[in-house]
Amino acid sequence: MPTRPQAPLLRVSHFQVLIGDRELGFSQVGPLTSETDLNALPDRAAHRFQTVVLRRALTGSPELYRWRRLIIDGKDDRRDVTISQLATPGGAVVSSWRLVQAWPCRWSGPALDALSGSIACEEIELTFQDLIWLEPTPTNPGG
């Protein structure tokens, strides 16, 4: 009996995040969740997406905080966010998702602790209109 070749398992440690067209580095992303409220009436199914948390080391840049501040100040600043899973560091994209019309519903700065040697981190939590699993772009090995 012929055996079917096994697809390689995908790792979660190599990824890229674009907010709009700007790449920002993050140490953790997710999870990406789509769910249906099972308590809703059958003719009124409530489908929704859970918020997504992006976490990174705190730098001197207030860029994420400023985005959140725009929302607090009443500006409708929604951006598409693309999360790509990579085969290797800097390698080919194996899976990609787009958070459509995302905006930060929460920003968190570091928890400070004089007894810890941990890296200071910030988090931004995104809510969004739609989640799209993007089809991979085929590469042309012949150029």
Residue 1 lies in a domain: no
Q: Is residue 42 part of a domain?
A: no
**Number of domains the chain contains:** 1
Question: Which CATH number characterizes residue 107's domain?
Answer: 2.30.110.20
Q: Is residue 28 part of a domain?
A: yes
Instruction: Kindly tell me if the per-residue pLDDT of 125 is higher than 80.
Output: yes
- 124 domain-assigned: yes
Identify how many contiguous H helices and E strands the chain contains and give both numbers. 1, 10
Vertex 12 angle, CA 7 and 17, to 5°: 115
Q: Tell whether the torsion through CA atoms of 70, 101, 12 and 29 is positive or negative.
A: positive
Residue 102 has pLDDT above 90, yes or no: yes
Residue 8 lies in a domain: no
Q: Which residue range is the domain that position 125 belongs to?
A: 15-32+48-134
Give the predicted TM-score (pTM) of the model.
Answer: 0.86
% of the chain surpassing 90 pLDDT: 76
Say if 6 falls within a structural domain.
no
Q: Is 18 helix (H, G, I), strand (E, B) or coil?
A: strand
Has residue 10 been placed in a domain? no
CA distances from 46 to 40, 98, 128 (A): 6, 21, 15
31 pLDDT more than 60: yes
In the 3-class helix/strand/coil scheme, how is 53-113 assigned residue by residue?
EEEEECCCCCHHHHHHHHHHCCCCCCEEEEEEEECCCCCCEEEEEEEEEEEEEEEECCCCC
User: Looking at residues 35-52, what average pLDDT do you find?
Assistant: 86
Per-residue model confidence (pLDDT) at position 140: 53
